[in-house]
Structure 1
Amino acid sequence: MTKTFRSNRLTTSDMQTFIRCCLLLAITATLVSVFLSGVFLGLAFLAWVYQGFAKPAAPIRWPGYFPFVLAFMLAALLAMIVSEDMLESAHYVRKFVHFFAILLVFNYFDRRWVKLTTWGVFVAAAVSGCIGTYQYFVLRKVELLDRVTGFMSHWMTFGGQMMIVSIMLAAFLVSLFPPWGSLRAAWARANRHVWLWAALLPLLLFVLVLSMTRSAWVGAGLGLLLIGAVRTYRLALVGILLIVVAWAVLPERLSERVKSSFDPADTTNRVRVELWRTGLNVVRSHPYMGIGPRMVPRTFRHYRVSNEFPDWAYQHLHNNAVQVAAEMGLLGLAAWFSIWLKLAWDHVRFLRKARQAEDRQLFATSIGALASLLAFLAAGLFEYNFGDSEILFLLLFVVTAPYICAYEKTTKTSTTSRTE
């Protein structure tokens, strides 16, 4: 009798599935715990290295914007070299991990895994949103220095996450009723799961309001209006009307938070102006290479404009562009801006391609990425959200998803052409 033995070595397919699962969990876990996300990301990297030793590695592909990311990383490395404290600035390389993680996502994910990860993010955001609602109404986290945080340790991180996920979800829902085709056919395709996702959007927006994070409000508003405008201008007008109505019915505590945005005497507004002016003083003093990553809290005393605010307020400069320019100079700022310009250009191109091909998933990921990018940059005018790993990693997945969908579509099309 002949016996067959199954090899104990994991197959290539097994390893690919394991890496994909780890990446899915790493992205989803950003809404729960940065440590947990790091664990899954580490497992994905280890599995990738193991697979590379087990068999000849395939050429690594990268999304179209990645050369601009490499340029930014080079600018950051140069800024570290000229930093007053090179060892302290060197800690900034931890941010590079998420950039390289996106390479794994781009190389291992396909449309199915993009969809699964997106759904996982929606579920994690729903749970975090419920926790935030509980914190507000039961634990009474209603003060400016003690707000709702969901799973996160800070309300601004939580607000930024709810902002991006709300936009992702809105883009997904709009893609179910795309500009092409009839609404009747779209209604016929809708199932009960769609209505569960639709019910989630009000929850995320509601808890975003409860977070009292004004920068996230601005970003979410602009992102959602962009999605509405791309679908139809009437939807954007409805969105504006809903924003006005929501403002009119807000409780006094929240409406005062909105009004404070336009009050130059408000403490949070004045401290931001102080931080921006401090950052500009740094740029004037070190215009080309900056003072080095992570050096603002150590050197701000030489550049601050006044002594009105406590030292702990100078941890960062509450503006992405000012922070990057202060740390890495105008060279780093130019490289940083080039990433977002390339992304915006490509997402518009993908959006046009999705309309022409009537590709709903490419449409959803493209408009979601473009709107999330707008929201991130708008919120980043008033906070340093680029320095928040939980927000950055989530954003990188969102803006890379259209490249994955477009690449898979192109690959399938070329394969079909060769076999015909």
Structure 2
Amino acid sequence: MKKISWNHYFTFFLLLFAAATSFSIALTQIALTLAVILWIGLCLKEKKKPFPRTPLDWFFVVWLAMEIISTLFSPNRYLSLEHFVKRALLIPIVYLIAGSVQSRKQLRWLLLSLLGVMTIVAVIGIVKYHLGPGGLEGRLKLFNHYMTSGGLLMINGLLALAFVFSRAPRHVRSIALAAAVLMFFPLIYTYTRSSWLGYLAGFTFIILFTRWKFIFALIPAVLLAFWAAPSSLQERLTSVVDPWHPNNIERTYMWQAGVRMVEHSPLYGYGDSEVGKRSEPYKSPQAKERAGHLHNNLIMFAVILGIPGLLAILGLFIRILAIEWITLRSLAADDWLLSGTALGALAAFIGFQINGMFEWNFGDAEVAMLMWLTVGLSLAAGRIRSAAG
């Protein structure tokens, strides 16, 4: 019987981490912690650096420095510190994936764990939804809040779609298509508009990059799907472009309040401490909705960190987009595994950013964790290609 090594334990927890992102934040965090500890131990044993240097390092450093400064000046330092630490502890995901996924075989297993389990969860979601009340009152929740479910399905769905439009073997594309379709329906059932928009943005990018002529088929396909959709779904879809819809008006009030808060504390913000509650005095008297955040990533970062911190996080986002684009362009289309991974990661990051224009998805640990995982996947794909020469 072959002896189980520490490397096997590490691989198990890494794959468990990827698989659990679809259904359990507790199991995800446990698996991630054990994977990081084991990886550091293995690297120390072999006398090599556990985490590679990346083009993102100094951007992370500047962002974290801005977080520390805003926490020091926060009206509630302890709460701000708690939220800051939660965000900071997700960053090692990027380095863990980039450093430990060193071969195509490892990459395949990681993608299979990630997308395979998400597909199973999606099927459970479809059954759960159709057994329930349905309609807007029955917004689908998988194993978490429906907005979280929407974000997870959006990112995983875009990763799967990238392989549908890659030059992978036919059986791989068929499996990816089945997974993408099975994720698409529960994404719709969440009735989460921001995730729909993020998915559409990422899907559009995939088509433009791989088969741009398909864009002319996408538009009528969307219109046909809208025509065939039930009335509750049509109403939800049309609300996206209705500036007078009550939900959109409330979002506008939140964003206006956020801008006023930044004007009041532009240098170091308020820290991440009860932003929703602190925004109330800055809201319009007509505002009715009370929320814990302001439903926009950039406005939230501006309120939390101030304008210098906002510029730091914008610099990080732009750098990630640039690196992922450079990685994608450097990979041959025939190398379908690496190019498909890079394409899916970039589409997912685009989707995450569009989603974040209407949602504080950085405050959603499950979604943010998955986003950082995709950034690590892109870096890993580039490193595997470089190692192969």
1:35 lines up with 2:55 in the alignment: no
1:404 lines up with 2:380 in the alignment: yes
Would you say how many aligned residue pairs link Structure 1 and Structure 2?
386
Secondary structure of the corresponding residue to residue 260 of structure 2: helix
Paired position in structure 2 for 1:100: 92
Distance in 2 of aligned mates of 1:304 and 1:176: 51
| Pair 1:82–1:117, CA change in 2 (3 A) | same
Distance in 2 of aligned mates of 1:52 and 1:231: 38
| Pair 1:288–1:150, CA change in 2 (3 A) | same
| Pair 1:160–1:284, CA change in 2 (3 A) | same
Find the partner of 2:12 among 18, 21, 29: 21
Give the residue type in structure 2 aligned to 1:405: A
Find the partner of 1:236 among 201, 208, 215: 215
| Pair 1:350–1:54, CA change in 2 (3 A) | closer
Q: 1:95: how far off?
A: 1.4
1:182-197 to structure 2, matched below 5 A, reads 189-191=169-171, 194-197=173-176
TM-score calculated relative to the size of structure 2:
0.93
Paired position in structure 2 for 1:181: none
Q: Deviations over 1:205-227 (max 9, x none)?
A: 12211111111111111111110
Paired position in structure 2 for 1:343: 320
Runs of at least 5 residues in structure 1 that lack an aligned partner in the other structure: 1-5, 178-188, 414-420
1:265-344 to structure 2, matched below 5 A, reads 265-306=244-285, 308-310=287-289, 313-344=290-321
1:176-215 to structure 2, matched below 5 A, reads 176=167, 189-191=169-171, 194-215=173-194
Give the residue type in structure 2 aligned to 1:377: Q
1:352 lines up with 2:333 in the alignment: no
**Contact persistence 2:94–2:375 (CA under 8 A):** no
**Contact persistence 1:350–1:362 (CA under 8 A):** no
Distance in 2 of aligned mates of 1:321 and 1:130: 34
Q: 1:291: how far off?
A: 0.5
Paired position in structure 2 for 1:82: 73
**Contact persistence 1:135–1:141 (CA under 8 A):** no
Give the residue type in structure 2 aligned to 1:200: A
Distance in 1 of aligned mates of 2:135 and 2:276: 29
Paired position in structure 2 for 1:139: 132
Paired position in structure 2 for 1:180: none
| Pair 1:306–1:20, CA change in 2 (3 A) | farther
**Contact persistence 1:142–1:148 (CA under 8 A):** no
Distance in 2 of aligned mates of 1:412 and 1:200: 30
Runs of at least 5 residues in structure 2 that lack an aligned partner in the other structure: none
Paired position in structure 2 for 1:418: none
Q: 1:54: how far off?
A: 4.9
| Pair 1:308–1:230, CA change in 2 (3 A) | closer
Paired position in structure 1 for 2:236: 257
Q: 1:359: how far off?
A: 2.5
Q: Percent identity?
A: 24
Q: Deviations over 1:143-176 (max 9, x none)?
A: 35x5101122x11110111111111001012113
| Pair 1:364–1:265, CA change in 2 (3 A) | same
**Contact persistence 1:283–1:326 (CA under 8 A):** yes
Q: 1:295: how far off?
A: 3.3
Secondary structure of the corresponding residue to residue 31 of structure 1: coil
Q: 1:24: how far off?
A: 2.2
**Contact persistence 2:74–2:273 (CA under 8 A):** no
Distance in 1 of aligned mates of 2:227 and 2:372: 35
Structure whose CA Rg is larger? 1
**Contact persistence 1:68–1:338 (CA under 8 A):** yes
Q: 1:57: how far off?
A: 4.7
1:220-235 to structure 2, matched below 5 A, reads 220-235=199-214
Q: 1:59: how far off?
A: 5.8
Paired position in structure 1 for 2:165: 174
Secondary structure of the corresponding residue to residue 98 of structure 1: coil
Give the residue type in structure 2 aligned to 1:94: K
**Contact persistence 1:296–1:314 (CA under 8 A):** no
1:44 lines up with 2:35 in the alignment: yes
Distance in 1 of aligned mates of 2:95 and 2:325: 22
Secondary structure of the corresponding residue to residue 129 of structure 2: helix
Secondary structure of the corresponding residue to residue 47 of structure 1: helix
Which deviates more, 126-135 or 313-322? 126-135
